[in-house]
A = this chain, B = another copy of it.
Amino acid sequence: MLRAFGITGLPVISSGDDIGAMIAGRVRAMGVHVETGDVVVVAQAIVSKSEGCVVDLSRVKPTEDARHYARITGKEPRLVQVVLDESKAVLGAYRGFILCETRHGFVCANAGVDQSNVGSGRVTTLPPDPDGSARRISESLESIFGHPVPVLICDSEGRPFRRGAIGVAVGVHGMDPVESMAGRRDLTGRELETTEVCVADMLCSSAALVMGEADEGIPAVVLRGFEPKGTGSSSDLLYERDVMKERIMGGEMLDHPDN
């Protein structure tokens, strides 16, 4: 059985707050405890705020590039400028979003720049080192609970071909985010075709169902019943650059007669 406990009662987070200690305190106060084998998922928004990754849009000067992408996407030029500042590369511009490669190497919409939960005219950016953020929270939890605690930093992201955002991991500490099924066999003894499973994103999606998106105020979730393995990092979530490039550039297109 998998169980997901939402951690409530955290105050509004400000730059410099030790959110690891704050989460641990609330976990204890709620009588939940963190057991060996539990995974703690923390919302990117509070991690970014605790690290001061907040941009006041009134102080941003949009470049000509930003105005160009603003016209295509229908987004505000200052917001687009922050997206460009957070990006290593722009991969495409569409109605409503820019497809970016972030400084960390994530390919996602708008480089993870988010207008939620931070007040009008301000946006959060992804933490510069989300694995480091996860590690620091993990260390706080370990110092209180006396055993290593895997931590995931969770963001919500759309996908190109399905409506609606899901929870995904942008920071990882103390577990493998992707588990290989290579060599494992199915019910009939056949070796498995789907050889990689993104357990980190599925854990973040489980947590996101508990967090909700709006005013519930549940920025952290303790997940119990999944046994994390290994000691990976968020870079394990990324394909090699040549694979990414092939996918972005389109592979071999369209000579099936039904097209």
List CB contacts (< 8 Å) of A219-246 with chain B: 225-226, 236-239, 243-244, 246
**Chain A residue total in the interface (Cβ 8 A):** 94
Question: Could you tell me the dominant secondary structure of chain A's interface residues?
Answer: mixed
Q: How many copies of this protein are present in the complex?
A: 2
B215→A90 contact, CB < 8 A? no
Report if A93 contacts B (CB, 8 A): yes
B188→A257 contact, CB < 8 A? no
B interface footprint on A67-86 (CB within 8 Å = 1, 0 otherwise): 01100100000000000100
A to B CB contacts below 8 Å, 11 in the list:
A65-B256, A72-B251, A94-B252, A115-B190, A117-B186, A118-B188, A163-B196, A199-B209, A202-B205, A203-B209, A250-B250
Q: Once bound together, how far apart are the Cα atoms of A32 and B35, in whole Å?
A: 24
Residues of chain B lying within 8 A (CB to CB) of residue A205: 166, 201-202, 205-206
Report if A129 contacts B (CB, 8 A): no
